[in-house]
Amino acid sequence: MSFLPELTIAAALDGLAAKDFSALELTRAHISAIESLDPQLNAFITQTPELALEMAGAADAARAAGSAGPLSGIPLAIKDLFCVEGVRTTAASKILENFVPPYESTVTAQLKAAGAVFLGKANLDEFAMGSSNTTSGFGAVTNPWQRNGSNAKLVPGGSSGGSAAAVASRMAMGATGTDTGGSIRQPASFTGITGIKPTYGRCSRYGIVAFASSLDQAGPMARSVEDCAILLGAMSGFDARDSTSAERPVADFRAAAKRGVKGLRIGIPAEYRMDGMSAEIEGLWQKGVAWLREQGAEIVDVSLPHTKYGLPVYYIVAPAEASSNLARYDGVRFGTRVDGEDLIDMYERTRAAGFGAEVKRRIMIGTYVLSAGYYDAYYLKAQKIRALILRDFTEAFAKVDALLTPTAPSAAFGIGEKTDDPVTMYLNDVFTVPASLAGVPAMSVPAGLDAQGLPLGLQIIGRHFDEETVFAVGGALEKAAGFSALPAIRAGGAK
């Protein structure tokens, strides 16, 4: 029997179906990987081994009874932004340190119904605000990858950094993530795994702790394009409890991932060639272009003229929505309370003690751009430029079927780097934010290593609700890239 945590989800499903191993054996192998690796990586805020074993037992029973679901027995990490009934859900914030949700998010309910096994709640940047997982109230996550000849600790990216580290290190076969401005794609790129942010409205937001509601979207992270397709199929679909959930049929993403790119028109947006971008990333992008051309795609130069305004628009819109969403954390109905002289003083002390520095900054920026006298100059203006960014994509997609770009402007960096001022950290998301603002689907696929031995991803952006083409292009890139490098810290690896 092969070392179980090495398997892809697709291979594990085959093994479970063939009775090569049981869901309990598969789950025990992952629990043991977590026990040995998580003290180093800190990818989990809450581990749920008892729940996992119970779910695995149920999956084995269902399989024996002939009623196995599409994910029966597959051990997953759940980003600690998804409410799982009866399991502490913190959003990586001290203000929710003891919050136990009395309800289940729609995405995790669907994963449960599909037979998945939950290993625990994955670490993230506090309230998903960050690109390095260093803003977590429960400690930073360490990237399982290291630079050649160095054991310096690197960030896994963020905000879904715990999910990414768990999947890359083989502590979990897949994970849920959420992406507001790049929080699935950038950590996927930093850890050499695949992640897709589907179209806004594809996965229900019900039961996911809200950051910026017009941008937040759940999606899967896994070690292959096909595995992401399997997971997204189970996570997607209409939900009446999310007013922005799309009433659309869910396609067979797994079949789409094998479709190939013959005859597809792939756009290369000139504006993603940024000043100061490393030659390695530029080189990898050109390789990606060549790989798709060799497989029969037509390459077309396109222009998305408002690309450079994506980040500044995002850093008005997202904090504005966050300041409103996070108003609920006032120490009254749930969460931590710090007593004060009166009600207002109690609110202020509770929020000062419960929120970390980055969350406070974003709430304050959001409060300012929505305040009387500044709303038009900042918030309304940003919403108008957001419309122009969407128009750029609409016009490009009249000419091409998908776009190919780098996922992030750099490989993983050291824990503690890029903290001189908030804007330096924000620049991580320069290539991922525009698709979030437009609501279109986008995926990161690992495509190669930089000179220091760190993974780099390429991003595929598709039309609204055309994840199928994104999967087709992702599958083709994956096949050509043949990415097989392994992180230094992983289950079954050399210590």
Residues 333-372 binding another protein (CB under 8 A) are 333-337, 339-340, 342-349, 351-352, 355, 360-361, 363-365, 367-368, 371
Q: For another protein, which residue of 300, 385, 480, 486 counts as binding (CB under 8 A)?
A: 385
Contact track, another protein, 295-314, x by CB under 8 A: -----------x-xx-xxx-
DSSP 49-98: HHHHHHHHHHHHHHHHTT---TTTT-EEEEETTB-BTTB---TT-GGGTT
Q: How far is the CB of 425 from another protein (least distance, A)?
A: 11
Q: How far is the CB of 301 from another protein (least distance, A)?
A: 23
Q: How far is CA 377 from each of CA 316, 368, 422, rounded to the nearest angstrom?
A: 11, 11, 22
Quick one: DSSP state of residue 35?
Answer: H
The half-sphere exposure of 125 on its side-chain side, counting CA atoms within 13 A, is 28
Q: Do residues 218 and 178 touch, judged by C-beta distance below 8 A?
A: yes
- In a 3-state reduction of DSSP, which class is residue 459? strand
Residue 99 contacts another protein per CB under 8 A: yes
Q: For another protein, which residue of 21, 190, 413, 426 counts as binding (CB under 8 A)?
A: 426
Q: How far is the CB of 28 from another protein (least distance, A)?
A: 32
Q: For another protein, which residue of 49, 57, 422, 453 counts as binding (CB under 8 A)?
A: 422
- In a 3-state reduction of DSSP, which class is residue 370? coil
Residue 373 contacts another protein per CB under 8 A: no
In the structure encoding, which two tokens stand for residue 283, read together?
């080189």
The residue (of 76 and 96) whose beta carbon lies closer to another protein is 96
Catalytic residue among 22, 72, 159, 160: 159
Residue 419 contacts another protein per CB under 8 A: no
Q: How many residues does the chain have?
A: 495
Contact track, another protein, 203-222, x by CB under 8 A: -----------xx-x-----
Query: For the packed helices 357-369 and 310-325, what is the interaxial angle rounded to 10 degrees?
Result: 100
Q: Do residues 456 and 446 touch, judged by C-beta distance below 8 A?
A: yes
The residue (of 13 and 313) whose beta carbon lies closer to another protein is 313
**Cα(339)–Cα(201) distance, integer angstroms:** 39
The half-sphere exposure of 175 on its side-chain side, counting CA atoms within 13 A, is 40
Residue 324 contacts another protein per CB under 8 A: no
The residue (of 41 and 363) whose beta carbon lies closer to another protein is 363
The residue (of 93 and 143) whose beta carbon lies closer to another protein is 93
32 annotated active-site: no
The residue (of 46 and 244) whose beta carbon lies closer to another protein is 244
Residue 275 contacts another protein per CB under 8 A: no
**Cα(128)–Cα(130) distance, integer angstroms:** 6
Q: Do residues 82 and 108 touch, judged by C-beta distance below 8 A?
A: yes
In the structure encoding, which two tokens stand for residue 352, read together?
């000062």
The residue (of 293 and 384) whose beta carbon lies closer to another protein is 384
**Cα(157)–Cα(143) distance, integer angstroms:** 8
Whose tokens are 């990987």? That residue is: 33
Binding footprint of another protein, residue count (CB under 8 A): 74
Residue 100 contacts another protein per CB under 8 A: yes
Q: How far is the CB of 113 from another protein (least distance, A)?
A: 20
The contacts of residue 405 (CB under 8 Å, 6+ apart) are 268, 269, 272, 285, 431, 458, 459, 461
Of 402, 411, 186, 461, nearest to 281 (Cα)?
A: 411
Residue type, 354: G
**Cα(200)–Cα(195) distance, integer angstroms:** 15
Restricting to residues 36-65, name those near another protein by CB under 8 A.
none
Q: How far is the CB of 122 from another protein (least distance, A)?
A: 21
Restricting to residues 136-165, name those near another protein by CB under 8 A.
none
Q: How far is the CB of 162 from another protein (least distance, A)?
A: 23
- In a 3-state reduction of DSSP, which class is residue 406? strand
Residue 375 contacts another protein per CB under 8 A: no
Residue 479 contacts another protein per CB under 8 A: no
**Cα(428)–Cα(408) distance, integer angstroms:** 6
Q: How far is the CB of 8 from another protein (least distance, A)?
A: 31
Q: For another protein, which residue of 332, 395, 416, 485 counts as binding (CB under 8 A)?
A: 332
The residue (of 13 and 87) whose beta carbon lies closer to another protein is 87
Q: For another protein, which residue of 436, 444, 459, 469 counts as binding (CB under 8 A)?
A: 436
72 annotated active-site: no
Residue 285 contacts another protein per CB under 8 A: no
The residue (of 88 and 287) whose beta carbon lies closer to another protein is 88
Residue 390 contacts another protein per CB under 8 A: yes
Q: How far is the CB of 335 from another protein (least distance, A)?
A: 7
Q: Do residues 354 and 329 touch, judged by C-beta distance below 8 A?
A: yes
The contacts of residue 117 (CB under 8 Å, 6+ apart) are 23, 26, 27, 52, 55, 56, 59, 73, 74, 75, 76
Catalytic residue among 160, 163, 169, 183: 183
Q: How far is the CB of 454 from another protein (least distance, A)?
A: 27
Residue 121 contacts another protein per CB under 8 A: no
79 annotated active-site: yes
The residue (of 109 and 456) whose beta carbon lies closer to another protein is 109
Of 188, 418, 405, nearest to 310 (Cα)?
A: 405
Active site residues per annotation: 79, 159, 183
